[in-house]
Amino acid sequence: MAIRSEVKPPALARHTLNTAGAYLYIFGGSLETGEFSSSVYRIPLPLSEDSQWELVQPRGGKTLDVRLAAHSTVYYKATNSLIVFGGIMTSLARFSKLSDRIYAFQLDQMHWTEILYPRTALRDTNIPRERAFHTATISGNYMVVFGGYTHRHNKDEICYDNQMYWYHLSCHIWINQVVSADDSLYPKPQGVFAQAAALRRNHTLLIVGGYHGNVNADLFAYELPQVLRVENTLYNPEVSCRLHASHTACLSNPECGWCSADSSCYGRTIGANCTTNLQTTRCPGICPSLGDCHSCLVHGSQWGKSSGNKAAFSVASKLGLNECTWCVQNAKCHHRDDNYGICGDSSGWWGDKGTEIRRPSLCTSTDRRPGLTYIKYHFPINFTMPDYVGIVNATMVDFASPPFTTYFEHKLEGEMLARLVGFVRPQHQWNNSAIQVCTSYSSAVLRAGLGLYLDELVNVTTQSSNQSYCSNVQLPTTEQPFTIDFQVRTVTCSSKYKYLAIES
């Protein structure tokens, strides 16, 4: 097939292949050189000898973050997106690591984003750890993840996972496994990875083969819990809430709510028969999981509405939790109909209210977050290629040396640079014309001036310290904004606590 295609995907291994709409998509994988691919290729269906492959050009997102192999990809029709979980990702040059990240590729806009789902310091048992060579399957609003190579050697000696995990693709949380069943564990205690899985007739997950110390030919069938099955294309997941017999199971399902008056489980938007307040679990929707303006407004949109898609319609869609707006001042994505004044309470030199953006086209021109630009350069310092760039709403920043990958890198004992650049707007409540410059175990230079360009700034102070030290510095002006460039250098091998700060 496609033997006459002008564009052809390269030789790949450990990639994924998915049908989405009228196309077949290939994503990621390992190249012949050992490099990981972040490319997406697609070909129209049905296939023929004249079919043409196309290299998809993403219009947004960080493609370097999605260089993955041995990951899983599923197609979620409600948002017309490819959902990628786990795999082996690039870390540093020549090094890789297991991933627990979720990425979404929105096919209408060809936009990548990371889904920043809620994590806890002590990871809950219902949230999977980093893994590769696992399987992921779509069932209604859920992505069902099973097995995989996890390589955990701390408290538990686990190489191959035997658990099943459920991710709600509309509420964007991993749900408590109580909602599934007690028999959702792989029948063999050692777990499995590199297996294959497929959903049969919307209710039976078939798992075949894999490796757990030896290559096996096992075939297992797992019957999905009845409350999580998609019976037909017009299926409403809230209708199945009445099948939950216990309070715990009911609250494990974000589509449902528990009525204490009659000890019954109802759909959270159809529980009108409950005479008391319906107890519900949290369904945050996608908005809090999106970390930048374009992602917020591209992925935080009701794509299913325009196409009339009612399949597995989620409670998050009914409540408008997946329609988002971006707040410039606190750099957060929140629900469009949020009544808590998340952005309205942001006051400062820009005015009494924060700025909300509701169209992706306005992100480039309007998303000007107040703060200083924080830049880090690891050893060896290259001013044309910083290792980190971000906006901070603070005048104090902690910074540490990057972790050393090899003994050789540790012995280099080079120098790293942290930098705060931007405009400072003097406030009326500043009673004196001085600020404090503070450093710890480092040497610092503060340059300031009224010019707009960094080469027009002049040295205001220079200081070095082997411990925490602060000094007073005269302000260039108290009447108008001025520009600063605050640079701090330190030796990378030092394990001391280091920070830089400018305080009024």
- Tell me the per-residue pLDDT of 306-359, one tens digit each, with 9 for 90 and over: 445 544 478 888 888 889 999 998 889 999 877 656 786 667 777 778 889 999
Q: What does the mean pLDDT of the chain come to?
A: 85
CA distances from 420 to 14, 227, 368, 450 (A): 42, 53, 17, 16
pTM assigned to the model: 0.86
Q: What is the mean pLDDT of residues 25-30?
A: 97
Task: Give the model's pLDDT for residue 499.
Answer: 55
DSSP per-residue string spanning 193-251: BS-EEEEETTTEEEEE--BSSSB---EEEEEPPGGG---STT--GGGGGGG--SHHHHH
Q: Cα separation of 15 and 13, whole Å?
A: 6
Most distant CA atoms of the chain, gap in Å: 77
Q: What is the mean pLDDT of residues 412-425?
A: 84
pLDDT above 90 covers a percentage of the chain that reads 43
In eight-state DSSP terms, residue 175 is P
User: What sign results for the dihedral spanned by CA atoms 363, 292, 112, 334?
Assistant: negative
Backbone angles phi, psi at 315, to 5 degrees: -65, -30
Burial of 116 (0-12, 13-18, 19+ CB in 10 A): middle
* Whether 81 contacts 104, CB under 8 Å: yes
pLDDT value at 157 more than 80 = no
- Structural domains for the chain: 372-503 (2.60.120)
Which residue type occupies 448? A
Task: Give the model's pLDDT for residue 451.
Answer: 86
- Tell me the per-residue pLDDT of 386-409, one tens digit each, with 9 for 90 and over: 988 988 877 677 776 555 554 444
Q: How many residues does the chain have?
A: 504
User: What sign results for the dihedral spanned by CA atoms 102, 105, 109, 111?
Assistant: positive
